[in-house]
Amino acid sequence: MNRRDFLATGTASVVGASAIEGLAATSAPAHKFKLNYAPHFGMFRNHAGTDLVAQLQFMAEQGFTALEDNGAPDRPIADQETIGKTLADLKMTMGVFVATKDFNNPTFAVATWKPELREPILKDIRNAVDVAKRLNAKWCTVVPGCYDTRLDWDYQTASVVDMFRRCAEICEKAGLVMVMEPLNTRRDHPKLFLTKIGQGYSICRAVNSPSVKILYDMYHQQITEGNIIPNIDLAYSEVAYFQVGDNPGRKEPTSGEMNYRNIFKHIHGKGFTGVVGMEHGNAKPGKEGEKALIDAYVWSDSFDKPMV
């Protein structure tokens, strides 16, 4: 029996329509997950609607204990404060938001020689500190831009390290952790400087700050280099955050080739207590797709039980 067949039979009675739609009447969450999976806004809009508080309540009712919101800095301050308060009321953890990014131009890689590029980045980081206070967030994502085809790689690496040190001076005072995200260049983000976990690990070791760590997005790394579990072990001391997405398609676990049930077991076995971000789409549309997504996490998180 494959994973998708199991989901169609083995967990259908656990998350049926009546279970989801009737949760407002009970205080007990529908599921008890072993890891802190973090959905994003819009993932359950067919059940919860567009209201942010209602979506958070639905996530909590399903047993999800964290939230991810990449676009939080672009939300009105009042919305940020409402999200932070609601998360506290629901005893949920705020995951990452994107502090600074550039998918088109060299930034961190050339900032040592281009002071005009430094201040916009530092401004983003100072803003991220304020956003984090409103959300009670501990982590923010940093994408350190593209590489420069005219500059030797070693100089660019030194510039990236230098820029992260400058940013860390801001974040350390606030207790905020920047998580750098290696992204794939084969499918989604060509020209980026940071692409592999080992590369991120070496930058973290060079910066040597508690505010500079790795965001291990397993969807991107399955495309870039595979070897997910061994690289988790090698880089674990510098990994502060994980993100999920199956490949191909970037949808929920069980929709592609990756054995997330085994990966989650490995992460849990290492004692990871941080957030596992659900940075992916839904494989199927509508309420049925949202139920299937929840089923997929229930099954993948049940790694301590027999598969049949």
Query: Would you place residue 93 in the very low, low, confident or very high pLDDT band (cuts 50, 70, 90)?
Result: very high
End-to-end CA distance of the chain: 8
217 vs 286: CA distance, rounded Å: 26
Cα–Cα distance for residue pair 5/21, rounded to 1 Å: 24
**Would you tell me the crossing angle of helices 115-135 and 153-174 to the nearest 10 degrees?**
40
**Adjacent-strand bridge partners of 140:** 178
**Confidence (pTM):** 0.91
pLDDT at residue 5, as a whole number: 41
pLDDT of 71 > 80? The answer is yes
111 vs 17, more confident = 111
Tell me: pLDDT of 14 over 80: no
CATH, range 3-7+30-301? 3.20.20.150
pLDDT at 2 over 80: no
**DSSP strand E in the chain: where?**
36-38, 66-67, 93-94, 98-100, 139-142, 177-180, 212-217, 239-243, 275-277
